[in-house]
Amino acid sequence: MKDSTIVLLQKEIDELKERNGFLQKKLKRFAQAFENSSIGNSIIDLSFRFMYLSSSALTQLGYTNEELSLTSILDITHPDDIELTKYQYDKMLSGEADHVKFEKRYLKKNGSIVWVGVITTLLRSSTDGQPVHFLEQFDDISAKKEAERLLVESELKYKLLFDSMLDGFAYHEIILDDDGVPVDYVFLTVNHTFELLTGLKKNEIVGKRVTEVLPQTEHHWIERYGDVALHGGKVSFEDYSVAFDKYFKVTAYSPEYKRFVSIFIDVTEQRKIEIELNKKIEELDAYFNNAVDLICIADTDGNFIRLNPEWEITLGWSLKEIYAKKFYDFIHPDDIESTLNTVQQLKEQTPIYNFENRYRCKNGDYKWLQWRAVPSGNRLYAAARDISEKKQMDVILEKRVLERTNALEVAYKEMESYSYSVSHDLRAPLRAINGYSKLINEEYSSVLDTEGHRLLGVIQENTLKMSQLIDDLLNFSRLGRSSMHYTEVDMKAIAEKAMQEILSLYPNREVEFVIDDLPPCSGDSAMLKQVWLNLLSNALKFTKQVKRTKIEISFTQTDDFVVYILKDNGIGFDMTYKDKLFGTFQRLHSIKDYEGNGVGLAIVRRIMNRHYGEVSAYSEVGKGATFYLKLPRKEV
Residues 595, 495: one domain? yes
Residues 349, 245: one domain? no
181-195 burial by CB neighbour count: b if 16+ within 10 A, else e? ebbbbbbeebbebbb
Residues 509, 614: one domain? yes
| Residue 72 counted as domain residue | no
Residues above pLDDT 90, as percent of the chain: 43
Report the mean per-residue pLDDT for the chain: 83
Residues 421, 491: one domain? no
Tell how strand 131-140 and strand 182-190 pair up.
unpaired
Residues 493, 602: one domain? yes
pLDDT of residue 146: 82
Amino acid at position 336, single letter: I
Q: Which residues, including other chains, have CB under 8 Å from residue 297's CB and lie 6 or more apart?
A: 304, 305, 306, 379, 380, 381, 382
pLDDT of residue 7: 59
DSSP 96: S
Helical axes 450-479 vs 600-610, angle rounded to 10°: 10
Residues 376, 409: one domain? no
| Residue 158 counted as domain residue | no
Residues 523, 628: one domain? yes
pLDDT of residue 6: 56
**pLDDT tens profile 558-584:** 888 899 999 998 888 878 777 777 765
Residue that is last in its domain, among 419, 446, 469:
469
**Residues 162 and 189 sit within 8 Å (Cβ to Cβ):** no
DSSP 519: P
Average pLDDT over residues 603-611: 85
Residues 432, 545: one domain? no
pLDDT of residue 23: 46
Residues 491, 579: one domain? yes
pLDDT band for 275, please (50, 70, 90 cuts).
Answer: confident
| Residue 336 counted as domain residue | yes
- Rounded to whole angstroms, the Cα distance separating 109 from 630 reads 108
State which residues form the domain around 402.
Answer: 397-469
- Rounded to whole angstroms, the Cα distance separating 275 from 281 reads 10
* CA 389 to each of CA 294, 353, 392, 394, 402: distance values in angstroms, whole numbers, following the listed order: 16, 20, 5, 8, 20
Please say if the pLDDT value at position 270 is more than 70.
yes
> How many domains would you assign to the chain?
5
CATH number, domain of 620, equals: 3.30.565.10
pLDDT band for 30, please (50, 70, 90 cuts).
Answer: low
**pLDDT tens profile 174-192:** 999 999 999 999 999 998 8
Tally Cβ neighbours within 10 Å of residue 8: 10
Residue that is last in its domain, among 337, 363, 386:
386
Q: Which residues, including other chains, have CB under 8 Å from residue 568's CB and lie 6 or more apart?
A: 539, 542, 543, 549, 550, 551, 552, 624, 625, 626
| Residue 138 counted as domain residue | no
| Residue 209 counted as domain residue | yes
- Rounded to whole angstroms, the Cα distance separating 314 from 73 reads 107
**pLDDT tens profile 493-548:** 999 998 888 888 877 888 888 999 999 998 888 888 888 988 888 888 878 778 88
Residues 217, 312: one domain? no
Tally Cβ neighbours within 10 Å of residue 73: 23
| Residue 128 counted as domain residue | no
Helical axes 525-541 vs 491-503, angle rounded to 10°: 50
Tell me whether residue 476 is exposed, middle or buried, using C-beta atoms within 10 angstroms of its C-beta: 0 to 12, 13 to 18, 19 or more: middle
pLDDT band for 470, please (50, 70, 90 cuts).
Answer: low
Average pLDDT over residues 259-263: 92
Q: Which one, of 433, 430, 500, lies nearest residue 467 by Cα?
A: 430
pLDDT of residue 2: 47
Please say if the pLDDT value at position 305 is more than 90.
yes
Of the ranges 8-12, 146-150, 439-443, 454-458, which one carries the lowest mean pLDDT score? 8-12
Tally Cβ neighbours within 10 Å of residue 549: 20
Average pLDDT over residues 109-129: 90
**Residues 581 and 596 sit within 8 Å (Cβ to Cβ):** no
- Rounded to whole angstroms, the Cα distance separating 551 from 569 reads 7
- Rounded to whole angstroms, the Cα distance separating 109 from 63 reads 6
pLDDT of residue 340: 93
**Residue 249 phi, psi dihedral angles, 5° rounding:** -105, 120
> Highest-confidence range of 252-266, 454-468, 505-519, by mean pLDDT?
252-266
**pLDDT tens profile 343-399:** 999 999 999 999 999 999 999 999 999 999 999 999 999 999 999 998 888 888 888
Please say if the pLDDT value at position 425 is more than 80.
no
| Residue 449 counted as domain residue | yes
Residue that is last in its domain, among 365, 386, 407:
386
**pLDDT tens profile 47-58:** 999 988 988 889
| Residue 140 counted as domain residue | no
Residues 492, 366: one domain? no
pLDDT of residue 231: 92
Q: How many residues does the chain have?
A: 636
pLDDT band for 32, please (50, 70, 90 cuts).
Answer: low
CATH number, domain of 351, equals: 3.30.450.20
Please say if the pLDDT value at position 631 is more than 80.
yes
**pLDDT tens profile 186-235:** 999 998 889 999 999 999 999 999 999 999 999 999 999 999 999 988 89
**pLDDT tens profile 92-112:** 999 999 999 999 999 999 999
Residues 462, 534: one domain? no
Q: Which residues, including other chains, have CB under 8 Å from residue 539's CB and lie 6 or more apart?
A: 549, 551, 566, 568, 570, 625
